[in-house]
Amino acid sequence: MNRLQDKVVIITGGAGGIGRMAGKLFVEEGAYVLLVDLDEAALKDAVAEIGSNAASYFVADVTSAADNDAMVAAAEERYGGVDGLLANAGIEGDVKSIADYDEARFDQVMAINVKGPFLGIKSVTPAMQRRGGGSVVITSSVAGLTGTPNLSAYTTSKHAVIGLMRSAAKELAPLGIRVNTVNPSPVETLMMRRLEAGIGGEENAEMVRAGMAERIPLHRYANPDDIARSMLYLVSDDSAFVTGSVNVVDGGMTA
């Protein structure tokens, strides 16, 4: 349908399951895509998987203001501007009680999951202004809507980006920049494999997975494509009047 025809979209966490699926889908819809991550080998693999010269990669640390500025400059240099930012980079942290949670690890989760989107918005705003507007989509989670025991850092970070999104949506609306979150349930990604093992141990990971899937009314995890299609809607002009919204893609988990 070419819903993103000639739009330029930066995707952080571009080497992960959701990021690379979004990149593939966006290119199919006519976009130029810059995948951003720290893992260059995985980025090369993601670009090869997309299989189009409309996709390229940039190695950057989302917690660095300079790196965020550099990724935006790269997108403008390669493709002429920036129309969309998918602030998707994130880590799950540790599965531990608050009493046992390492302070440095908490800070790392907050830096990547919250400071990263903040710096991304800060860096991309002038570029989007030059294009007459744009769309920012932040990956939150169902963990941003409810409490989750033994995942304090991750849960806190995913609540925090909803506050960031709501503030940014009101602040940037006069500039024609829309800001929304996508809040997935568990998704078939390596992050969930690590969480399953962290919750139940490697020996019980499959049992944990089955239990989580049973809590979802549709009785399955989301596929990366399920999440990427919601992101496509929010980046595209189909959602031209949608900003400041929390978009839950969870198979009914939080209903």
**Residue range 188-198, pLDDT digits in tens:** 877 877 877 87
Residue tagged active-site, from 32, 79, 101, 154: 154
* Rounded (10°) CA dihedral 237, 133, 171, 161: 60
Q: Quick one: average pLDDT of 152-160?
A: 97
DSSP string, 75-130: HHHHHS---EEEE--------B-GGG--HHHHHHHHIIIIIHHHHHHHHHHHHHHH
Q: How far is residue 179 from each of residues 64, 129, 212, 221, measured CA to CA in Å?
A: 21, 14, 30, 26
* Rounded (10°) CA dihedral 21, 11, 114, 229: -40
Query: What separation, in Å, do the N-terminal and C-terminal C-alpha atoms of the chain show?
Result: 31
Would you give the DSSP letter of residue 222?
Answer: B
The residue type found at 222 is: A
* Rounded (10°) CA dihedral 85, 246, 13, 28: -60
- Of the chain, the percentage scoring pLDDT greater than 90 comes to 85
Asked if the model's pLDDT at residue 210 lies above 90, the reply is no
Element (DSSP H or E) covering residue 21: helix 17-28
User: What pTM was computed for the model?
Assistant: 0.94
Q: Round to whole Å and give the CA distance between 140 and 159.
A: 8
Q: Round to whole Å and give the CA distance between 169 and 121.
A: 11
**Where does residue 163 fall: left (phi above 0), alpha (psi -120 to 50 degrees), or beta otherwise?**
alpha
User: Collapsing DSSP states into helix, strand and coil, what is residue 183?
Assistant: strand
Q: Bigger pLDDT: 158 or 196?
A: 158
The residue type found at 200 is: G
154 annotated active-site: yes
Structure tokens given for 111: 């830096």
- Output the pLDDT for position 88: 97
Q: Quick one: average pLDDT of 159-175?
A: 98
- Output the pLDDT for position 42: 97
Fold for 8-185+224-249, please state it.
Rossmann fold (3.40.50)
- Output the pLDDT for position 214: 83
Structure tokens given for 120: 């991304």
Q: Which of 8, 3, 177 is nearest to 76 (CA)?
A: 8
Question: What residue spans in the chain does CATH classification 3.40.50.720 cover?
Answer: 8-185+224-249
Q: Round to whole Å and give the CA distance between 23 and 58.
A: 13
pLDDT class for 2, splitting at 50, 70, 90? very high
- Output the pLDDT for position 6: 97
